[in-house]
Amino acid sequence: MQPVKVYADRRSQPSRAVIIFCRVNQIDFEEVTVDLFKSQHLTPEFKKVNPMGQVPAIVDGRFKLFESHAILRYLASVFPGVADHWYPADLFTRAKIESILDWHHTNLRRGAATLVQHTALAPFLGLTTSPEAVEQAEKLLMQSLGVIESLWLKGDAKFLLGNPQPSIADLSLVCEIMQLEILGDEVCDRFLGAHEKILIWMDNVRKTTSPHFEEAHELLFQVKARMLQSKAAASNQAFEPSTKLKIASKL
Amino acid sequence: MRECITYCCSSLVLWVLEVRLLLSLEPDAPAQLAGTVLGPLAPCTFLASKTHMLLVSGCANSQARSRIQRHGTEASALAASSTWAATSSTVFSCISGTPPRQGQNRRLNLSACSGSGGIGRGTPAGEEQILAEQQGSEKPPQASLIAMQPVKVYADRRSQPSRAVIIFCRVNQIDFEEVTVDLFKSQHLTPEFKKVNPMGQVPAIVDGRFKLFESHAILRYLASVFPRVADHWYPADLFTRAKIESILDWHHTNLRRGAATVVQHTALAPFLGLTTSPEAVEQAEKLLMQSLGVIESVWLKGDAKFLLGNPQPSIADLSLVCEIMQLEILGDEVRDRFLGAHEKILIWMDKVRKATSPHFEEANELLFQVKARMLQRKAAASNQAFEPSTKLKIASKL
Ligand SMILES: N[C@@H](CCC(=O)N[C@@H](CS)C(=O)NCC(=O)O)C(=O)O
Ligand SMILES: N[C@@H](CCC(=O)N[C@@H](CS)C(=O)NCC(=O)O)C(=O)O
């Protein structure tokens, strides 16, 4: 069988979740980089892969799929070597995981992604940000982190729902939270500092997916370093943030 | 009856093959089987599920088939888990010589099969159970077949995901009890309801001691756990299912975000005490219009009857149509502004309505009452030039 094609940009959190999942589970895949900064997601060729023009997307033979959660479910179901804990066959455990995945879209993701867009990325996106949008996103993000900690990591849960092993929900949510790195350490700590359980859980997820987790996040840390540099340069020499990093659209 | 016996016999052969496969592939398979072969019926249900599994994987795309065959058990168990309950109910009725019961769709406790992980864990540990139907030919001899209390569905029919769950339960004759959580009376914010759903949102369900929120997760769960929910609602075929999952995920951040924001910031804003910004409304309208365009051009292309060109509706059809129905409370003019240009969407919505009639209409009655009341108020307000009444205090977003 041909390897599955995974269209991704490692700067995108759902893209990383899919890549890490494939690596950890030794899925035979080929990573095709769709550079969002170069607007490659808007090309007609990529629109044939995913009409929504977003990453991640996969092509497995003639079968095309987008939306990272749907992709993770599919890969977990169709590939033989994927351990059950990633997407348990048990209907009750699975249903609880589905509930977290659905919740993710309108809570954690909406909070985190909006915040990242309206602060770190805004200058590169040419986004006009409103303080209200930022404030709302910060509130939603903080609330969401609180929910994860008090609801799904209660007691001394190693993984979400007290499961002994990670599921696709653990991976998806942790990749989302990792995106806060590009806000800089100070902001990151403001959100995560008060959530010790989340930090421990994130580390558990990292460890069980190591070294693929670290490898998939290398680019993110490079972006972070470059952003810090351009920030420093901007404040030192009082010029506009570099526009070298042209991000055509939202990460 | 004869067909049933033939079915069971051929299943037995397949089962033996499957057992071999299991034994050769799974180190702890014997333990799993020991847990399975408890009552005289247990092996039948087990083999039936296995047969079904083979049938399922047989129908699936050849790629999946070869992948599944390569592994033998795990992947196919996934494909089968949702058809599992349905198959076992068929076998029960075959053995007792009665056709599947036409009445309420009760969840079966497949405790005979609660082997390690995987297929057919019937009930979450410690769940309250009622010994069911002790009388009549439906009770299989010595079977530990236990029917459950009705599922509690916490809902407000003014909420679109609530309606989707209610319609789904009715259409599939799921034995459920609707518990109204009146959002206008802030009942979703009470400590009692927070015990059901800590997020304080509807819909939510309680099945025995198992609690669940998020409408999509609820629909998937109900479709998987109730025996006679037809396969088309949430297909076992991994490829069809994956495409449906993709639509469900897309829904959250596109159609729902657009539609719900428009409704909140226009029709409901005065009642919600929301300060709306023209930009928020404009953005939401754009997202809604785009989303409708995507549905029409991607998932309803050609002369598709239902999403993805499927011949029957899935939980994605139901969920999305309920979302779009919410536009009704914006009034006919605004609704038509969005839907008028999307003929395919109108036809599709009508197909979903027909396929779920009369439950669809019944579940939407309250919405039309709200709409009528809103129109009245609007008329009154513009006639007598007073502020919209605040009698309808909606504590939070619909
Ligand atoms: N819900 C989607 C989100 C996909 C998404 O937003 N992708 C972003 C990168 S993180 C993207 O491709 N943005 C480009 C665009 O929207 O134009 C998923 O989980 O896959
Ligand atoms: N994604 C959730 C949405 C649930 C939701 O937003 N429910 C609304 C009614 S439509 C609600 O309960 N709102 C009250 C609140 O958020 O306080 C689902 O599909 O179940």
Instruction: List, for residues B35-70, the tens digit of each pLDDT value.
Output: 333 233 333 333 333 333 333 333 233 333 333 333
When mean pLDDT is compared across B94-98, B274-278, B353-357, the lowest value belongs to B94-98
Expressed in angstroms and rounded, the spacing between residue A192 Cα and the centre of ligand 2 is 26
Interchain contact, A67 vs B238, CB within 8 Å:
no
| Other residues' Cβ atoms within 10 Å of the Cβ of residue A106 | 17
The answer on pLDDT for A232 being more than 70 is yes
Cβ A163 under 6 angstroms from ligand 1? no
User: Can you give the pLDDT at residue B385?
Assistant: 56
The shortest C-alpha distance from B382 to chain A (Å) reads 32
B286, two tokens: 């754009």
Atom of ligand 2 nearest to the CA of A106: 1
Interchain contact, A90 vs B118, CB within 8 Å:
yes
The answer on pLDDT for B83 being more than 90 is no
Cβ A116 under 6 angstroms from ligand 1? no
Cβ A250 under 6 angstroms from ligand 1? yes
**Ligand showing the shortest atom-to-Cα distance for residue B215:** 2
ipTM comes to: 0.93
When mean pLDDT is compared across B208-217, B225-234, B239-248, B387-396, the lowest value belongs to B387-396
**Cα separation, B192 vs B214, whole angstroms:** 18
Distance of CA B64 to the CA centre of its chain: 24
The answer on pLDDT for B145 being more than 70 is no
The answer on pLDDT for A63 being more than 60 is yes
Atom of ligand 2 nearest to the CA of B183: 14
| DSSP state at residue A38 | G
The answer on pLDDT for B349 being more than 90 is yes
User: Can you give the pLDDT at residue B107?
Assistant: 55
Q: What is the mean pLDDT of residues A28-39?
A: 96
CB of A238 within 8 Å of a chain B CB? The answer is no
Atom of ligand 1 nearest to the CA of A67: 20
Dump the DSSP string for B204-248: EEEETTEEEESHHHHHHHHHHHSTT--GGGS-SSHHHHHHHHHHH
Q: What is the mean pLDDT of residues B222-243?
A: 97
Domains of chain A: residue spans and CATH: 4-82 (3.40.30.10), 86-215 (1.20.1050.10)
Q: Regarding predicted confidence, which is higher, B389 or A37?
A: A37
Return the percentage of chain B with pLDDT > 70, whole number: 59
Q: Regarding predicted confidence, which is higher, B268 or B371?
A: B371
A57-60: strand order across its sheet: A29-33, A4-8, A57-60, A63-66
pLDDT in tens, A113-124: 999 999 888 877
User: Can you give the pLDDT at residue B146?
Assistant: 52
Residue of A nearest to B64 (CA): A78
User: Can you give the pLDDT at residue A238?
Assistant: 53
User: Can you give the pLDDT at residue B396?
Assistant: 40
The answer on pLDDT for B106 being more than 60 is no
pTM score, whole prediction: 0.80
The answer on pLDDT for A91 being more than 90 is yes
Residue of B nearest to A27 (CA): B67
Which of B74, B199, B210 has its CB closest to that of A92? B210
In the stretch 218-257 of chain B, residues with CB closer than 8 A to chain A read 220-221, 224-225, 238-239, 241-243, 245-246, 248-250, 252-253, 256-257
Q: How far is CA B266 from CA A81, A161, B252, B360, in A?
A: 50, 38, 20, 25
**Cα separation, B103 vs B98, whole angstroms:** 13
Residue B81 binned pLDDT confidence (cut-offs 50, 70, 90): very low
Q: What is the mean pLDDT of residues A180-206?
A: 96
CB of A98 within 8 Å of a chain B CB? The answer is yes
User: Can you give the pLDDT at residue B55?
Assistant: 30
Residue A251 binned pLDDT confidence (cut-offs 50, 70, 90): low
**Cα separation, A133 vs A136, whole angstroms:** 5
User: Can you give the pLDDT at residue A129?
Assistant: 82
CB of A118 within 8 Å of a chain B CB? The answer is no
Atom of ligand 1 nearest to the CA of B250: 1
Interchain contact, A52 vs B294, CB within 8 Å:
yes
Residue closest to B248 by CA, chosen among B204, B226, B217: B217
Q: How far is CA A12 from CA A8, A26, A105, in A?
A: 8, 21, 15
**Ligand showing the shortest atom-to-Cα distance for residue B397:** 2
Residue B211 binned pLDDT confidence (cut-offs 50, 70, 90): very high
